[in-house]
Chain A
Amino acid sequence: MATKDTPVNDPMLDPITGEFAVIAPGHTFKSVTEEISNIVLTPRTPLGWFFGFAIAGGVVLMLLVALTWLFLRGVGIWAVTIPVAWGFAIINFVWWIGIGHAGTLISAILLLFKQGWRNSINRFAEAMTIFAVVCAGLFPLIHTGRPWLAYWLFPYPNTMNVWPQFRSPLLWDVFAVSTYATISVVFWYIGMIPDLGTLRDRAKSRFGQFFYGMLAVGWRGSVRHWVRYEMSSLLLAGLATPLVLSVHSVISFDFAVALLPGWHTTIFPPYFVAGAIYSGFAMVITLAIPIREFYHLEDLITLRHVDNMCKVMLATGLIVAYGYSTEVFMSYCYSASKWEYFMMWNRMFGPIGWAYWVLITCNIALPQLLWSRKLRRNVPFVFLMSLIVNTGMWFERFVIIVISLSRDYLPSSWGTYRATKWDYMTLAGTFGLFTFLFFLFIRFLPMIPMSELRLMLPQAKIRAEAEPLPEAGD
């Protein structure tokens, strides 16, 4: 159904708005509950799941090998050295945390804007956030060189009588990212409690009842609880929104506060945030499309979702394009600084200039195809486009970090950068870790929020009936 034209009397089309339906018609409270909870509660795990899980697990083992060697030998096994001291570790950190941002955007900002369509995808977008933050958080830790002393980053009373230095953006990062990780986990878990209650009540096995029972903390669906719960979700959404904007802004301060040409610019905070959301939506699409195919969830994750996510990608992609053009304008036309001028020339035509053109192609040129409604509803095409955007966004961070660091003010301190096999193994290993965690998630936790889908069904509307209320009991 993906490639052919949508017929006019398609049941998936809303007759009034002409929009694609968010949920296919004909679903009831029961069918929604069964379709989603059976994925988790079935005693038969699909063979494909084991297959994917085993591959992801193998890649995680490779990550463990790379990390073990790193801990034995130190960061010298990577290509990082002076002047390019940040390399892959920080590129991957910024890239992964950016991916996480779309999850928060979907769960928080779209909730505040009452975008009902988000309900089918918000749970796994939030899970994606958490797993992406796990992968992201790994990099600064292992990049410290002595990760077993990473707790020194936090202010705590110690016998050395030393305290952290709060004027550094790198310390702000510690608080921004740790807060982001904590709030994401809490938001995700709180959002899952009613669904865990459903799983507890529907689980057949003793272990399932116990496991989901403990996690559901005794949720019984009292409307008094629901009112508080809804208020709490709204507040968490309202808090996560400024949080997500601040996290990538703080990360951009790591660069913008430094004096290096190519880093020292005021456009960075908004441009980093837009880029984060851009790559994050691309990752949501990369995950959603295989999941909806594999678990036959086309009724719940419909073409409307794919279409809307493409529109968000297009919009944030244009903001990113604006950021790129501002950088060019600032350095060539406005700065009157030969260092800035040289930085931009070197970025485009220097020894690693090809990376800049990869990013322009992947992030700006190709995504313009998404203006076509027909292509936005072509599922394989959208999947391919999401991979392209993710590649482009990785190259954006590569360009910012490596090209700027390798050519600073003084030609005698110029250098180059060529990633080693350990760099590539660690990057690839985090893909494995991300996928590994995701496989566990879709097998053991409800990946679509049942309670929110029920609310979206037409049956959920309260109808005033003409029939009078019966007399009071006495």
Chain B
Amino acid sequence: MPVREGTYGLLAEFDTPSQLVRAAKGAYSAGYRRMDCYTPYAVEEAAEAIGFHRNTVSLVTLIGGLLGLVTMFSLETWISVWAFPINVAGRPYYSWPAFVVPAYEWTILWAGLSAAFGMLALCGLPQLYHPLFNAPNFRNGATSDKFFLCLESTDPRFDMVETREFLDGFTPVSVVEVEY
């Protein structure tokens, strides 16, 4: 990846989630699209406000779960019927009711791992470096008690002066420029 330079975006800090949601709605209706909110807990309204409605975590989980089910059931069948057929108390080699239990467990195992690591992957995590951590006030509040809206410079509507004035209209605690 080439070294990026310049401005990542403008970061507005708010004291309350209500102010943040109002600002995010305002920015969205003003036509900004490349933006994100940063909150110390899940603020669903803020995600709605910036137009983030759908996510694919559940699809990834479903696929993972089905793969786990098929993998385990096929493995059991292959082992018991072809690889190592032994007669246990006269039960058939293909004792499918007994195979249900481990297959059930692996459905949950693979679905759970997909839900967890799929979520991290979809979020692009782990990502230890991010330009926002350069903002002096970000680390003081984003994970404890402050609410942030960042309008990113890659947005076509972004303009250093106008966007800053726009954000000031929402009476934030501060608006700071975030460097790459």
Contacts and interface: CB of A to CB of B under 8 A. Distances in A.
A is bound by B: yes
Given A197-B143, A231-B57, A166 B80 contact: yes
Contacts of B169: 470-471, 473
Interface string A184-216: 001101100010011011100000000001100
Looking at A213, A221, A460, A462, which has the most chain B CB atoms within 10 Å of its CB? Answer: A221
B59 to A, nearest CB: 10
B127 A217 contact: yes
Interface string A460-472: 1011110001111
A460 B129 contact: no
A68 interface: no
A218 B130 contact: yes
Contacts of A172: 98, 101-102, 105
B102 A221 contact: no
B145 A473 contact: no
A367 B146 CA distance: 46
Given A183-B112, A198-B40, A235 B58 contact: yes
A462 B17 contact: yes
A227 interface: yes
B52 to A, nearest CB: 5
Looking at A29, A166, A176, A182, which has the most chain B CB atoms within 10 Å of its CB? Answer: A166
Contacts of B166: 470, 472-473
Given A228-B122, A465-B22, A29 B145 contact: yes
Interface in A410-466: 450-452, 454-455, 459-460, 462-465
Nearest to A217: B126
B8 interface: no
B143 A194 contact: yes
A164 interface: yes
B129 A218 contact: yes
B30 A473 contact: yes
B105 to A, nearest CB: 4
Given A161-B84, A165-B86, A223-B43, A218 B162 contact: no
Contact of B105 (A246, A451, A455, A465): A246
Contact of A220 (B26, B132, B144, B163): B132
A226 B39 contact: yes
A250 interface: yes
Contact of B41 (A194, A224, A240): A194
Interface of A is mostly: helix
Contact of B144 (A183, A201, A462): A201
Nearest to B119: A232
B91 interface: yes
A472 B31 contact: yes
B119 A229 contact: yes
B3 interface: no
A473 B162 contact: yes
A225 interface: yes
B83 A163 contact: yes
A472 B30 contact: yes
B1 interface: no
A15 interface: no
Interface residues of A, number: 75
A283 to B, nearest CB: 23
A266 interface: no
A426 to B, nearest CB: 27
A164 B108 CA distance: 21
B79 A155 contact: yes
A166 B102 contact: yes
B46 to A, nearest CB: 5
A212 B161 CA distance: 37
B92 to A, nearest CB: 9
Contact of A29 (B22, B40, B159): B40
Interface in B106-139: 106, 108-109, 111-113, 115-116, 118-120, 122-123, 125-130, 132-133, 138-139
Contacts of B122: 228
A232 B116 contact: yes
Contacts of A171: 102
A146 to B, nearest CB: 21
A179 interface: yes
B120 A217 contact: yes
A293 interface: no
A421 B63 CA distance: 50
Q: 5 nearest interchain CB pairs?
A: A473-B166, A472-B30, A29-B145, A470-B169, A217-B126
10 contacts: A182-B112, A187-B116, A194-B40, A198-B143, A217-B120, A223-B37, A250-B101, A250-B105, A452-B41, A473-B162
Given A183-B108, A236-B112, A462-B43, 8 more contacts: A226-B41, A226-B42, A226-B43, A229-B123, A231-B55, A243-B108, A473-B163, A473-B166
